[in-house]
Chain A
Amino acid sequence: QKEVEQNSGPLSVPEGAIASLNCTYSDRGSQSFFWYRQYSGKSPELIMFIYSNGDKEDGRFTAQLNKASQYVSLLIRDSQPSDSATYLCAVAPNYGGSQGNLIFGKGTKLSVKP
């Protein structure tokens, strides 16, 4: 059974701090990794994806991937109250073969306090 694990939180950080969200996955053959943000009562939306080991930065967001440790993380710099949401980690079992079928973690709830 392929699994994606996340700390459910809630993770509470003060405004302006760095929020660090973590995710581990069980399928060593996984190739592509995604972070979705879901506001309360809304549907998930993609904010980052990463395929290669290392860091990938997009504005205030940085995704980090370590395939040897089967670990992916999302850093949010200068956290804002508007970042308060549930963050879902998702893993595609095989790049180019999964038809986009993702395995989702249960999500980490982030709360940014003004």
Chain B
Amino acid sequence: DVKVTQSSRYLVKRTGEKVFLECVQDMDHENMFWYRQDPGLGLRLIYFSYDVKMKEKGDIPEGYSVSREKKERFSLILESASTNQTSMYLCASSLVSGTLVAGELFFGEGSRLTVL
């Protein structure tokens, strides 16, 4: 089974702190994604990566950065956390497009971040 593991299920941080959210997948997937999910707003893509050291902005990249130094690991960084970044963060991975399962995202369990 594909497993996407997010390092922290629950985090509480203070405004201005630097926050790292880690995600690891064990199926050699090329693509990795970071979403945030908020009530009434649905899933919104922050950043994605289709290869090591490659990254692409999603719909809401402001205030976030990412790092992909190894294929299996994709990190989301909040340089200076703010209260409006309180949310559920979901990491996902998928096979490269062009296959029949392109678009099948495998999600981690989520990291619920509260910024005070």
Q: Which residues of A contact B (CB under 8 A)?
A: 32, 34, 36, 42-46, 49, 88, 90, 92, 95-102, 104-107
Smallest distance from the beta carbon of B94 to chain A beta carbons, Å?
4
**B107 and A100 form a contact (CB under 8 A):** no
- On chain B, the residues within 8 Å of A96 by CB distance are 97-98, 102
Smallest distance from the beta carbon of B63 to chain A beta carbons, Å?
20
**B103 and A34 form a contact (CB under 8 A):** yes
**A106 and B104 form a contact (CB under 8 A):** no
Smallest distance from the beta carbon of B85 to chain A beta carbons, Å?
19
- On chain A, the residues within 8 Å of B74 by CB distance are none
> Assuming A100-B31, A101-B48, is B42 touching A95 (CB within 8 A)?
no
User: Using a Cβ–Cβ cut-off of 8 Å, how many residues does chain B contribute to the interface with A?
Assistant: 26
**A100 and B42 form a contact (CB under 8 A):** no
- On chain B, the residues within 8 Å of A42 by CB distance are 109
Partner of A45, one of B33, B95, B107: B107
Partner of B97, one of A45, A100, A105: A100
Partner of B31, one of A95, A97, A99: A99
Q: How many A-B residue pairs have CB under 8 A?
A: 67
Bound: A38/B26 CA distance, A: 22
Bound: A98/B33 CA distance, A: 13
Task: Determine chain B's interface SS by DSSP, over half rule.
Answer: loop
**A99 and B109 form a contact (CB under 8 A):** no
- On chain A, the residues within 8 Å of B97 by CB distance are 92, 95-100
- On chain B, the residues within 8 Å of A49 by CB distance are 101, 103-104
Partner of A95, one of B58, B102, B107: B102
> Assuming A90-B103, A92-B103, is B48 touching A43 (CB within 8 A)?
no
**B42 and A106 form a contact (CB under 8 A):** yes
Tell yes or no: B66 within 8 A of A by CB.
no
Bound: A98/B108 CA distance, A: 21
**B42 and A88 form a contact (CB under 8 A):** yes
